[in-house]
Structure 1
Amino acid sequence: MMEKTLVILKPCTLQRGLVGEITNRFERKGLRLAGMKMVQLTDEILNEHYAHLSAKPFFQRVKDSMMACPVIVCCFEGVDAIGAVRTLAGPTNGRKAAPGTIRGDYSMSFQENIVHASDSLEAAEVELKRFFEPEEIFEYNQATFDFLYANDEY
């Protein structure tokens, strides 16, 4: 099933000059970039985005990290995009992520772990609405589409 998912390139990614390398990994996999913009996250939006962590002792540290500089929010699309993105990203803790995954190749941290990736279809829908207006997510024919999937996969 064709899915759209949110990827946030975290401040550590921008500070380390890895934006192109990370977006390239998703594009090389065959995911279609449907939306992308740079934003400065606020306390308000992070309280909403990370509400599930609000009782944790590290909640403020997470928010401070995510506000250290702007982030780049991306919408990627593809068959089973949510799972594909999470597989490419690897486990949350970069020290435990396998080489070949984004976090395994670029992260030594649980917090400074390069990307946020939606973890379910429901989360992706909510998160994309949180960061994008409908007109900021684009539908277009990707020239390579017919070479990414068999005609009965989408």
Structure 2
Amino acid sequence: MESSLLKQVGAVLALSTVLMISGVRAWTGEIHGRVVCDVCGDSSIGPEDHVLEGAEVAVLCITTSGEVLNYQAFTNSKGIYTVAETMPESDRWDACLARPISSFHEHCTHLGDSSSGVKFTYSRPSGYFHTVRPFVYQPTNVPTYCL
């Protein structure tokens, strides 16, 4: 995964350089969030809960020029996913929808009721990020220590 991240960072830097050389003002945005397993299914994050590595999240953004961009991200070992983009200021993100796609954790695959997706307006200036509230999965069978 680290080499993939390095490739993404390299691509962002290359695009930034091209945009700056061509005289177009560049804009960079970032969206990140976390995916968690709510072990007891109690809709609160506690010491028994844990992050989900490898969970898939989709982020759909509409730019100010009307273009629709679809991103796919997977969580890292800390349960965090990140989507980043550098583009001309005139094409920056306007509104986005982040939604969980799947959890590959064998014991925590049921999507919590309040985790269907999050719509938001992206009004951050270049170089800033937007944090999405955590997406929560629950186990099919709640452990007996939770009851």
More helix by share: 1
Higher RCO (C-alpha under 8 Å, 6+ residues apart): 1
More strand, by proportion:
2
Pair member with larger Rg: 2
